[in-house]
Amino acid sequence: MATTSKVNGTAGSGIPENVPPVSCPLADEPTEIASNISFHAKYSPHFSPFKFEPEQAYFSTAESVRDRLIQQWNETYLHYHKTDPKQTYYLSMEYLQGRALTNAIGNLEIQGAYADALNKLGHDLEEIVEQEKDAALGNGGLGRLASCFLDSMATLNLPAWGYGLRYRYGLFKQRITKDGQEELAEDWLEKFSPWEIVRHDVTFPIRFFGHVEVHPSGSRKWVGGELVQALAYDVPIPGYKTKNTNSLRLWEAKACAEDFNLFQFNDGQYESAGQLHSRAQQICAVLYPGDATESGKLLRLKQQFFLCSASLQDIIFRFKERKDGKGSWQWSDFPSKVAVQLNDTHPTLAIPELMRLLMDEEGLGWDEAWDVTTRTVAYTNHTVLPEALEKWSQAVMWKLLPRHMEIIEEIDKRFMAVVHTSRTDLESKLPSMRILDNNPQKPVVRMANLCVVSSHTVNGVAQLHSDILKSELFADYVSIWPKKFQNKTNGITPRRWLRFCSPELSSIITKWLKTDQWVTNLDLLAGLCKFADNEDLQNEWASAKMANKQRLAQYIFRVTGESIDPNSLFDIQVKRIHEYKRQLLNILGVIYRYKKLKGMSPEERRKTTPRTVMIGGKAFATYTNAKRIVKLVNDVGDVVNTDPEVNDYLKVVFVPNYNVSAAEMLIPGSELSQHISTAGMEASGTSNMKFALNGCLIIGTLDGANVEIREEIGEDNFFLFGATADEVPQLRKDRENGLFKPDPRFEEAKQYVRSGAFGSYDYNPLLDSLEGNSGYGRGDYFLVGHDFPSYMDAQARVDEAYKDRKRWLKMSIMSTAGSGKFSSDRTIAQYAKEIWNIEECRVP
Active site residue 690: yes
Task: Return the HEC string of 188-252.
Answer: CCCCCCCCCEEEEEEEEEEEECCEEEECCCCCEEEECCEEEEEEEEEEEEECCCCCCEEEEEEEE
Mean pLDDT for 516-521 is 98
> 617-626, pLDDT tens digit by residue?
999 999 999 9
Please give the single-letter amino acid code of residue 786. H
Average pLDDT, the chain: 96
Alpha-carbon dihedral sign for residues 195, 201, 207, 212: negative
According to the model, what pLDDT value does residue 11 have?
A: 35
Q: At residue 709, does pLDDT exceed 80?
A: yes
Residue of 499, 575, 578, 651 with catalytic role: 575
Taking domain 84-98+134-455, whether its CATH number is 3.40.50.2000 is answered by: yes
Q: Are 446 and 389 in contact (CB under 8 A)?
A: yes
Q: Is 710 a catalytic residue?
A: no
Q: What is the mean pLDDT of residues 184-204?
A: 97
| pLDDT for the residue numbered 463 | 96
φ/ψ of 809, rounded to 5, equals: -65, -40
Confidence of residue 2 (pLDDT cuts 50, 70, 90): very low
* pLDDT for residue 304: 98
477, β-bridge pairs: none
Residue 6 is predicted with a pLDDT of 36
pLDDT score for 13: 56
Average pLDDT over residues 381-404: 93
Q: Which residue has the higher pLDDT, 838 or 2?
A: 838
What is the CB-side half-sphere exposure of residue 320 using CA atoms within 13 A?
7
Catalytic residue among 499, 576, 582, 611: 576
Q: How many Cα atoms are found within 13 Å in the side-chain-facing hemisphere of 405? A: 21
pLDDT of residue 3: 39
Hey, what's the torsion of the CAs at 45, 47, 49, 52, to 10 degrees?
-100
Tell me what percent of the residues of the chain surpass a pLDDT of 90: 95
**What does the alpha-carbon distance between residue 169 and residue 184 come to, in Å, rounded to a whole number?**
9
Q: Where are the domains of the chain?
A: 84-98+134-455, 565-802
575 catalytic? Reply is yes
Amino acid at site 570: F
Distance of CA 54 to the CA centre of its chain: 29
Fold agreement (84-98+134-455, 565-802): yes
Q: What is the CA radius of gyration of the chain?
A: 28
9 pLDDT more than 70: no
Which phi-psi region, left, alpha or beta, contains residue 301 (left: φ > 0; alpha: ψ -120 to 50)?
alpha
Q: Give me the half-sphere count of Cα atoms (radius 13 Å) on the Cβ side of residue 756.
A: 1
Q: How confident is the model at residue 385 (pLDDT cuts 50, 70, 90)?
A: confident
Strands of 87-91's sheet in order across:
197-208, 226-238, 245-254, 160-165, 87-91, 338-343, 377-380, 458-460, 485-487
Q: Does 686 participate in catalysis according to the annotation?
A: yes
Of the candidates 278, 248, 285, which has an alpha carbon nearest to the alpha carbon of residue 154? 248
Query: Mean pLDDT throughout 26-55?
Result: 94
pLDDT tens digits, one per residue of 297-349: 999 999 999 999 999 999 999 999 998 877 889 999 999 999 999 999 999 99
Share of the chain above pLDDT 70, in %: 98
pLDDT 10s digits, 632-663: 999 999 999 999 999 999 999 999 999 999 99
How far from the centroid of its chain's Cα atoms is residue 727's Cα?
30
For residue 445, pLDDT over 80 is answered with yes
Distance CA 67, CA 832 (A): 30
Residues 300, 382, 499, 549: which is the catalytic one? 382
Given 690, 710, 732, 786, the catalytic residue: 690
> Where is pLDDT greater, at 39 or 10?
39
Single out the residue of 106, 149, 66 nearest to residue 240, CA to CA: 106
Residue 471: burial class (beta carbons within 10 Å; 0-12, 13-18, 19+): exposed
pLDDT digits (tens, 9 = 90+) for 599-609: 999 999 999 99
| Nearest CA-CA partner of 549 in 526, 571, 573, 527 | 571
Contact 92, 102 (CB under 8 A): no
Are the beta carbons of 646 and 669 closer than 8 angstroms?
A: no
Sign of CA dihedral 37, 43, 47, 50: positive
Residue 395 has pLDDT above 80, yes or no: yes
Mean of the pLDDT values across residues 397-418? Answer: 98
Residue of 123, 168, 578, 581 marked active site: 581
Task: Check: pTM over 0.95? Answer yes or no.
Answer: yes
Which residues face 91 on adjacent strands? Answer: 163, 342
Q: Which fold has domain 565-802?
A: Rossmann fold (3.40.50)
H or E stretch at 452 = helix 447-454
